[in-house]
């Protein structure tokens, strides 16, 4: 389905893209020691018959009856998804995002027996800090498209060269253009080790890790395992809920009376999430294959499954179109569909994601945290300090939600720069 170019054996130099403004993109230096270590350049090339088949399936959708509730309490409303589907059939173009992706230096390499797809953009500043950034579910590498330029070439965006990063943005196994695991065991610990191996293969002996959602969990696991070369992590969905709070939430109990105001708000948000909005997670944690048949076979089923999370988790009051364009949302939805990733992406929940919020205990590794106001819950600093014993940065952002880099790229960029400034 996808067309990788022949393998490289020397430094590959790629020109910058006009779509990324003044960004100068430098290629990946390949130092293969065996055939499995080869880094191959990659281009997206979805066959036209796949796009045509998508339109055919959309046109043949069997719609359910309209919801009986007058709001979103039963799920995505029929009129909302029908309008999005109409737009997708008449005005949306997958080829537009495919072209934008192909303007970036993308590669595939085998790590631990599985192909890993990644974007690799080196900064014009050779002293830039290497960083691996990991997306979440139902996101993808597309979450980071708006921040690649500002993070790698800050001078071109009014910033300081001292804040530059070399960026590696991989697709999680089972997502998008990375390989799909054929055996169990690809949980966050293993992915974290794979990311460390990837950074070493690219020649980065010291680097930092950033992530939200699944990317937060993977960054946590990298820190806990003390993977080689890791100098610190930044997360925008911290795992800091104390055990005593998790126990009360699991039992459906009331908030403890001794909670501070921000802790009580966090408790209430989590309580609401578990009671009203966590059904998707329970399904993917326990039965990813069962739900996967629908996600791989029905484009409207997949779109609704994902769109609901855009609505619930963006900082938009339930109207994600306020912060993301329809094209942006459909780009991500279509990436899942055209790569048949619905089931394989859900499997990461079954592997290792029974609860992304529970407290971790990172004793030595420097940890930075940004809390965005539209996140599923806003982690209090007091909880973060209990979990991260070397908390080097903590800030409550003014705007943004679960998809922070996508929704508020300028704020996200500023936060990542500030988070790692002391580690340069």
Q: How many domains does the chain have?
A: 2
- For residue 78, pLDDT beyond 80: yes
Reference 214, options 165, 143, 272; nearest CA is 143
Mean pLDDT of 381-390: 98
Q: Which of 321, 352, 383 is the last residue before a domain boundary? A: 352
**pLDDT-based confidence at residue 19 (cuts at 50, 70, 90):** very low
Provide the pLDDT for residue 110: 98
Whether residue 316 sits in one domain with residue 393: no
Provide the pLDDT for residue 37: 84
Mean pLDDT of 21-41: 52
Q: Is 207 helix (H, G, I), strand (E, B) or coil?
A: strand
On whether the CB atoms of residues 20 and 148 are closer than 8 A, the answer is: yes
Under DSSP, the state recorded for 30 is P
Taking only Cα atoms into account, the Rg of the chain, rounded to an integer number of angstroms, comes to 21
Q: Which of 311, 335, 352 is the last residue before a domain boundary? A: 352
Reference 65, options 73, 50, 77, 51; nearest CA is 77
Whether residue 230 sits in one domain with residue 193: yes
On whether the CB atoms of residues 214 and 136 are closer than 8 A, the answer is: yes
Reference 329, options 348, 346, 305, 347; nearest CA is 305
Whether residue 178 sits in one domain with residue 32: yes
- Could you tell me which residues come within 8 angstroms of residue 132 by beta carbon, excluding any fewer than 6 positions away? 167, 168, 169, 170, 195, 198, 199, 207, 208, 209, 210
What distances in angstroms separate CA 257 from CA 136, 164, 197, 240, 271, one per listed residue?
Answer: 34, 45, 46, 19, 15
- For residue 6, pLDDT beyond 80: no
Q: Is 17 helix (H, G, I), strand (E, B) or coil?
A: coil
For residue 185, being part of any structural domain is answered with: yes
Provide the pLDDT for residue 352: 77
β-partners of residue 3 are 43
Provide the pLDDT for residue 311: 97
CATH number, domain containing residue 382: 3.40.50.1820
Whether residue 327 sits in one domain with residue 205: no
**pLDDT-based confidence at residue 353 (cuts at 50, 70, 90):** low
For residue 85, being part of any structural domain is answered with: yes
Q: Could you give the CA distance from residue 311 to residue 308 in angstroms, rounded to a whole number?
A: 5
For residue 255, being part of any structural domain is answered with: no
Whether residue 108 sits in one domain with residue 22: yes
For residue 209, being part of any structural domain is answered with: yes
- For residue 27, pLDDT beyond 60: no
Whether residue 166 sits in one domain with residue 34: yes
Whether residue 53 sits in one domain with residue 26: no
Whether residue 331 sits in one domain with residue 289: yes
Q: What is the pLDDT of residues 169-209, one digit of tens each?
A: 999 999 999 999 999 999 999 999 999 999 999 999 999 99
For residue 257, being part of any structural domain is answered with: no
Strand (E) or helix (H) holding 332: helix 326-338
Provide the pLDDT for residue 36: 75
For residue 247, being part of any structural domain is answered with: no
**pLDDT-based confidence at residue 256 (cuts at 50, 70, 90):** very high
For residue 126, being part of any structural domain is answered with: yes
Q: Which of 352, 372, 403 is the last residue before a domain boundary? A: 352
For residue 90, being part of any structural domain is answered with: yes
Whether residue 204 sits in one domain with residue 113: yes
Reference 108, options 62, 170, 19; nearest CA is 170
Q: Which domain holds residue 323?
A: 48-94+273-352
- For residue 266, pLDDT beyond 70: yes
In the chain, % of residues over pLDDT 90: 90
Q: Write the DSSP assignment of 79-90 as a string of letters.
A: HHHHHHHHHHHH
Whether residue 286 sits in one domain with residue 394: no
Q: What is the pLDDT of residues 308-344, one digit of tens each?
A: 999 999 999 999 999 999 999 999 999 999 999 999 9
Hunting for tokens 């100098």 — which residue is that?
A: 231
Q: Is 341 helix (H, G, I), strand (E, B) or coil?
A: coil
Whether residue 52 sits in one domain with residue 39: no
In the chain, % of residues over pLDDT 70: 91
For the chain, what is the mean pLDDT?
Answer: 91
Whether residue 209 sits in one domain with residue 104: yes
């Amino acid at each position: 389905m996808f067309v990788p170019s022949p393998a490289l054996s020397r430094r590959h130099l790629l020109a910058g893209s006009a779509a990324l403004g003044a960004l100068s993109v430098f290629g990946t230096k390949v130092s293969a020691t065996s055939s499995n270590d080869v880094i191959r350049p990659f281009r997206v090339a979805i066959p036209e018959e796949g796009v045509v088949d998508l339109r055919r399936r959309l046109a043949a959708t069997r719609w359910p009856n309209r919801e009986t509730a007058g709001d979103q309490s039963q799920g995505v409303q029929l009129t909302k998804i029908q309008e999005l589907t109409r737009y997708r059939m008449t005005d949306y173009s997958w080829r537009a995002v495919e072209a934008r992706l192909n303007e970036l230096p993308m590669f595939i390499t085998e790590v631990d027996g599985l192909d890993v797809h990644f974007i690799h953009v080196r900064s014009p500043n050779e002293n830039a800090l290497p960083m691996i950034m990991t997306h979440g579910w139902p996101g993808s590498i597309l979450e980071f498209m708006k921040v690649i330029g500002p993070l790698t070439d800050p001078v071109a965006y009014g910033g300081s060269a001292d804040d530059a990063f070399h960026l590696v943005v991989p697709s999680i196994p089972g997502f998008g253009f990375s390989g799909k695991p054929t055996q169990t065991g690809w949980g966050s610990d293993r992915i974290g080790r794979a990311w460390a191996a990837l950074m070493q293969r690219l020649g980065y002996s010291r680097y930092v890790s950033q992530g939200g959602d699944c990317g937060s969990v993977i960054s946590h696991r990298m820190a806990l395992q003390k993977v080689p070369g890791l100098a610190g992590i930044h997360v925008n969905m911290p795992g800091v809920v104390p055990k005593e709070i998790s126990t009360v939430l699991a039992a459906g109990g009331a908030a403890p009376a001794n909670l501070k105001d921000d802790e009580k708000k966090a408790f209430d948000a989590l309580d609401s999430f578990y009671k009203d909005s966590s059904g998707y997670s329970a399904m993917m944690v326990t039965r990813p294959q069962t739900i996967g048949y629908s996600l791989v076979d029905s484009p409207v089923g997949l779109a609704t499954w994902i769109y609901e999370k855009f609505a619930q988790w963006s900082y938009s009051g339930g109207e994600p179109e306020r912060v993301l364009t329809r094209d942006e949302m459909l780009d991500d939805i279509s990436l899942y569909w055209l790569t048949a990733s619905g089931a394989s992406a859900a499997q990461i929940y079954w592997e290792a994601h029974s609860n992304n919020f529970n407290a971790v205990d990172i004793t030595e590794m420097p940890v930075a945290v940004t809390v965005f106001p539209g996140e599923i819950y806003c982690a209090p600093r007091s909880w973060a300090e209990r979990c991260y014993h070397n908390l080097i940065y903590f800030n409550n952002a003014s705007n943004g939600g679960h998809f922070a880099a996508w929704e508020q790229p300028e704020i996200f960029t500023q936060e990542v720069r500030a988070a790692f400034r002391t580690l340069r």
